[in-house]
């Protein structure tokens, strides 16, 4: 029998050509039909995603000398889409040399990944969500010793591994952590419960002479594009560009700055928070450019955490869409173990107060460059703002769903203004805040 083209296979699914199919080909049609493939190479980990109209049944194993990862997909035949996968490996990929696809037997596709190094793989499937169909996700992490060696100053790799093994809570605290964190800011004039040892007899709060640490969090990334504008601009790319500019300005102020991601990579929300906590950040700022169903919605907004509810319908809607990032980006564990600890609650109440002050300072600066969505800091239950001990805000730079604001977001001039305003607002806040003792 001649080889069937993809077109005739597609026709076959309508029944018109069934008569020409052998039972063997029909049997193969029962399994996964791969409709899309992607590879996201990054230093922290490389992800390969296969998408199918039906759930993907799989097995995998590793081979040594040379290092390979073999994935067998059950009940399936190769097709054009899958064959293209091999071409998607980039020379700069830190983990993959090449990908080969073959029909191992009539019911099994075999994918062989030739690797540049020994990896620590996580292979898992995800049910359909948002615009995605059934996904098979293959995450290639470095081995733990390599991760530790490579990231002496940046714990991202180790945190990602802890997260993928369910060791990090949704608020970024670790499962092993039993004690409450220290409140970030002490002895502000409006702080009702100063710690006596940190309160000198004069009643004046002591200014701690150390470099403030800022964690900049560009939203989304990799498999999670965030919102997409009418002309196709992706939120994940805009906010990474703005985040890098914010870092540059803050570095110029002499602060110590870090980014939760500096590549087109998906980082779970809990890992972003855990990274900020592990680097003892004094401020966490998450940068977004989201969408609303109504394209006329516009303006800049600043948000803080309210774990118990939302201060407006818009804030509630935004938190819901932001918290969906983990499901869209794809995580093996939700990490959603609730930390219910009164000490944490007390710390968090003080932290939220500081977050609102930080948010107000940033909002004041942003109001000079764009229309504000609202004149005050809105609050909702944002997962990425849950660090119990770090003042955290989410900046909605503009609505990417609004054609006019999408144009602004694509301009370098607006991005720079935005970055300068966010950085100035953080500086304003830090000029009055007293940093925690460490
Ligand atoms: Zn967003």
Provide the H-helix boundaries in 70-217. Answer: 80-83, 144-150, 156-164
Nearest to 286 by CA among 364, 359, 367: 359
Phi then psi for 7, rounded to 5 degrees?
-60, -45
Residue 331: the pLDDT is 85
Walking along the chain (438 residues) 10 residues at a time, the average pLDDT comes out as 40 39 45 89 94 95 97 89 95 96 93 96 94 95 72 73 76 60 45 41 57 97 96 98 98 96 94 94 97 91 93 92 90 60 74 96 97 94 92 97 97 98 98 81
Instruction: Report pLDDT for 333.
Output: 65
Identify the pLDDT of residue 160.
82
pLDDT given at position 175 = 64
Q: What is the pLDDT of residue 77?
A: 84
**Closest to 246 (Cα-Cα) out of 262, 235, 234:** 262
How far does the centroid of ligand 1 lie from the alpha carbon of residue 297, in Å?
15
| DSSP per position, 97-121 | EEEEEEEEETTEEEEEEEESS-EEE
State the distance from the centre of ligand 1 to the C-alpha of 129, rounded, in angstroms. Answer: 17
Q: What angle is formed at CA 57 by the lines to CA 9 and CA 115, rounded to 5 degrees?
A: 95
Predicted confidence at residue 31, as pLDDT, reads 63
Helix (H, G, I), strand (E, B) or coil at 101: strand
> Among 302, 404, 424, which residue's Cα sits nearest to residue 359?
302
218 alpha carbon – ligand 1 mean position (Å): 9
Per-residue pLDDT, 22: 42
Total-model pTM: 0.83
pLDDT of residue 4: 40
What is the C-alpha to C-alpha distance for residues 176 and 358, in angstroms, rounded to an integer?
30
Name the 3-class secondary structure at 346.
helix
Q: How far is CA 281 from CA 32, 195, 376, in A?
A: 45, 21, 24
**What integer pLDDT is reported at residue 209 of this predicted model?**
72
CA–CA separation, 382 and 317 (whole Å) = 10
Ion ligand 1 nearby residues (CB, 5 A): 219, 226, 288, 290
Backbone angles phi, psi at 422, to 5 degrees: -60, -45
User: Could you tell me if 285 and 395 are in contact, meaning their C-beta atoms sit under 8 angstroms apart?
Assistant: yes
Residues 6+ apart with CB under 8 A from 153: none
Distance between Cα 344 and ligand 1 center (Å)? 27
Bridge partners, residue 63, by sequence: 68
pLDDT of residue 113: 98
Cα-to-centroid distance, 214 and ligand 1 (Å): 20
Alpha carbon of 14 to ligand 1 centroid (Å): 40
219: CA distance to ligand 1 center in Å? 6
Predicted local confidence at residue 5, as pLDDT: 43
The domains of the chain, with CATH numbers, are: 19-149 (2.60.40.3500), 156-432 (3.40.630.40)
CA of residue 385 to ligand 1 center, whole Å: 13
CA dihedral 177, 178, 179, 184 (to 10 degrees): 30
């Amino acid at each position: 029998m001649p080889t069937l083209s993809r077109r005739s296979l597609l026709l076959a699914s309508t029944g018109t050509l069934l008569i020409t199919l052998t039972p063997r080909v029909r049997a193969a049609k029962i399994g996964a039909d791969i409709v899309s493939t992607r590879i996201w190479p990054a230093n922290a980990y490389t992800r390969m995603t296969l998408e199918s109209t039906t759930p993907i049944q799989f097995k995998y194993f590793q081979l040594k000398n040379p290092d390979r990862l073999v994935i067998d997909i059950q009940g399936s035949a190769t097709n054009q889409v899958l064959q293209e996968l091999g071409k998607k490996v980039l020379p700069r990929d830190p983990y993959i040399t090449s990908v080969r696809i073959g029909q191992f037997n009539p019911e099994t596709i075999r994918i062989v990944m030739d690797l540049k190094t020994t990896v620590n793989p996580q292979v898992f499937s995800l049910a359909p969500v948002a615009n995605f169909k059934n996904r098979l996700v293959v995450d290639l992490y470095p081995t733990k010793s390599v991760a530790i060696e490579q990231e002496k100053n940046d714990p991202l790799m180790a945190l990602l591994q802890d997260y993928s093994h369910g060791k990090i809570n949704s608020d970024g605290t670790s499962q092993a952590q039993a004690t409450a964190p220290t409140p970030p800011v002490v002895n502000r004039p409006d702080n009702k419960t100063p710690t006596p040892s940190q309160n000198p007899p004069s009643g004046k709060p002591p200014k701690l002479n150390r470099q403030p640490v800022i964690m900049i969090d560009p939203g989304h990334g990799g498999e999670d594009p965030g919102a997409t504008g009418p002309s196709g601009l992706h939120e994940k790319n805009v906010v990474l560009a703005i985040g890098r500019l914010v870092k540059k300005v803050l570095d110029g102020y002499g602060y110590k700055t870090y980014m939760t991601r500096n590549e087109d990579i998906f980082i779970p929300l809990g890992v972003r928070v855990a990274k900020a906590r592990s680097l003892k950040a004094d401020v966490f700022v998450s940068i977004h450019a989201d969408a609303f169903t109504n394209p006329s919605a516009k303006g800049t907004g600043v948000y803080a955490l309210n774990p118990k509810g939302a201060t407006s319908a818009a804030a509630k809607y935004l938190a819901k869409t932001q918290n969906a990032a983990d499901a869209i980006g794809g995580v093996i564990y939700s990490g959603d173990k609730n930390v219910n600890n009164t000490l944490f609650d007390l710390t968090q109440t003080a932290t939220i107060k500081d977050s609102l002050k930080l948010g107000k300072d940033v909002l004041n600066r942003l109001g000079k460059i764009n229309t504000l969505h609202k004149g005050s800091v809105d609050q909702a239950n944002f997962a990425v703002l849950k660090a119990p001990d770090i003042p955290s805000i989410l900046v909605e730079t503009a609505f990417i769903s609004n054609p006019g604001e999408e144009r602004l977001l694509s301009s370098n001039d607006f991005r720079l203004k935005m970055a300068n305003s966010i950085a100035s607002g953080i500086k304003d806040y830090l000029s009055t805040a007293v940093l925690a003792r460490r």
